[in-house]
Amino acid sequence: MDKNTKPVERKGFGSRIGFILAAAGSAVGLGNIWRFPYLAAKYGGGFFLLIYLILAVTFGFTLMLTEVAIGRRTGKSVLGAYRAVDKHFGFMGWMAAIIPAIILPYYCVIGGWVLKYMTLFVTGQGTVANQPVASADGSSITFFESLIGNSATPTLFFIIYVVLNAVVILLGVQKGIEKVSKILMPVLFILIVGIAIYTLTLPGALDGAAYYLLPNFEDFSAEKLFKTVAAASSQLFYSMSIAMGILVTYGSYMRKEDSLEGSVRKIEIFDTAVAFLAGLIIIPSVFAFSGGDAASLNKGPGLMFISLPQVFESMPLGDFIGAAFFILVSLAALTSSISLMETVVAAVMEKFRLSRVKAVIVVIVITLMLGMLSVLGYADWSEVKIFGMQFLDFFDFITNSVMMPILALLTCVLIGYIVKTKYIEEEVLYGERKFGARALYRIMIMYVCPVCMAMILVTPFITEI
């Protein structure tokens, strides 16, 4: 058997517990709760939301379905799957394996921030997160800024987070984690709904809700449309774990008798609902606590960490609810980063013929090295910029806005023009009477998706000029 196509031993991740759960555990994570709200805030609220929703049901659906179908049809992990579709496209498997290796380190850095907040709330010190701190030059900065501006604490929590991941992967207790998340995911969902309702009762919050829900077409321009589509699609990749082999891998574990179309729809809806609700908490709360100052929406990656503790402090039982919230978010993050790490570990095992333990060690070393760049980029090395970005933002950009669109574009070419859409359609129709979205699927994969991908890829260059 060819070494690249040998099925990888994967301690049953996703195999027995059912596909939807495993994929939803990977999909729902920091992307939904941390990344989506700050992008929505930055790109005009309602306008971004509208574009995101349109993209989710059209091209998010198309790409997710494609990857899962490739996985199920070939029955292979990412390294072998693309080759099995067409022998000239095997390199895509490698691209798909490198992407999670770049995302994992910075994901763990943010996971570390979440752990720090969780510790604060669990030890009853949640209000500390709202107290301004005096910076070195005497000015006052937020707790969050002072936290990430000093590398010591973020490094510590980053390492703890990485070790937690590694332990889970080594123990092979993914099944346990999945069982736990079967209970925790619904609890997280209910908690988010509850917090969202509470937030909307705060004075001024409804203006925030209006900003978030109602698209504003007043300052509409082609440039704004381009930028928003680019940002929304990069978010879509991130949030749905698209274009990095994870869904291909999970698809290979999926049972033939389950409906592909139906399962993909469910994951998509759940993932989007969590993101939507996170936005409905964070954006209105920023309005409520800043007295409607829209500039405070531009806090970028820190938005969740700055606005949520304020909500909790204002709330009855806020310490308790804050603690519960950050525990659940940590677990949601963990199920996502485990899927990232598992993909990288499996690729390293397969390529270098290493044992699981050795592969995990290799991955930990790489993750710690790359992750430290992200930690230091916000602290001691804050003058160091790559293309004007800090390390963390750069890693985020290079994967979500460059490598993933390229991989997705190649997937469209492969399916739309080389093996043709019947390759996917046959798999979707296996044991099913119909493929409801077939016409949409064809148009998307052959025309719309490639054009959107090209747009994402050129936008940064256009806006530079």
Binding site for ligand PHE (CB under 6 A): 26-27, 29-32, 100, 103, 238-239, 241, 244, 246, 336, 339-340
Is 151 in a helix, a strand, or coil? Answer: coil
- What is the spatial distance between Cα 234 and Cα 128, in angstroms, rounded to a whole number? 34
Angle at CA of residue 247, ends 242 and 249, nearest 5°: 140
Are 71 and 241 a contacting pair, CB within 8 Å? no
User: Do residues 41 and 218 touch, judged by C-beta distance below 8 A?
Assistant: no
142 vs 165, beta carbon nearer ligand PHE: 165
Q: What is the nearest approach in angstroms of ligand PHE to the Cβ of residue 179?
A: 19
Smallest gap from Cβ 395 to ligand PHE, in A, equals 12
Instruction: Give the residue with the Cβ less far from ligand PHE, 285 or 400.
Output: 400
User: Residue 133 forms beta bridges with which residues?
Assistant: 141
CB of 320 to ligand PHE, least distance (A): 25
In the complex, minimum distance from the CB of residue 21 to ligand PHE, in angstroms, rounded to a whole number = 14
| CB of residue 191 to ligand PHE, shortest distance in Å | 17
Min. distance of Cβ 29 from ligand PHE in angstroms? Answer: 3
Q: Cβ closer to ligand PHE: 32 or 390?
A: 32
Q: How far is the CB of 163 from ligand PHE (least distance, A)?
A: 19
Strand partners, 386: 389
* Distance, CA of 418 to CA of 40 (rounded, Å): 36
CB of 202 or CB of 360, closer to ligand PHE: 360
Q: Give the 3-state secondary structure of residue 140.
A: strand
* Phi and psi torsions of 44, nearest 5°: 85, 20
Show Cβ contacts of residue 188 under 8 Å, excluding neighbours closer than 6 positions: 28, 274, 328, 329, 331, 332
Name the minimum Å distance from CB 242 to ligand PHE. Answer: 8
CA 108 – CA 30 distance, rounded (Å)? 10
Minimum Å distance from CB 267 to ligand PHE?
11
Q: Nearest-CB residue to ligand PHE? A: 31
Of 74 and 337, which has the nearer Cβ to ligand PHE? 337
Of 51 and 379, the one with the shorter C-beta distance to ligand PHE is 51
241 or 252: CB nearest ligand PHE: 241
Residue 77 or 290 having the CB closest to ligand PHE? 77
374/421 with CB nearer ligand PHE: 374
Q: How many residues does the chain have?
A: 465
**What ranges in 123-204 are assigned the alpha helix state H?**
143-149, 152-171, 174-200
Q: With beta carbons less than 8 A apart as the criterion, state whether 262 and 430 touch.
A: no
Query: Pick from 169, 154, 192, 208: which is nearest to 377 by CA?
Result: 154
Chain-centroid distance, C-alpha 278: 13
- How far, CA to CA in Å, does 71 sit from each of 67, 261, 420? 6, 14, 16
Task: Report the residue number, 99 or 359, with the smaller CB distance to ligand PHE.
Answer: 99
Least Cβ distance, residue 105 to ligand PHE (angstroms): 13
Q: Under a CB-based contact definition with an 8 Å cutoff, are residues 250 and 240 in contact?
A: no
Reference 261, options 56, 39, 69, 10; nearest CA is 69
Cα separation, 21 vs 448, whole angstroms: 29
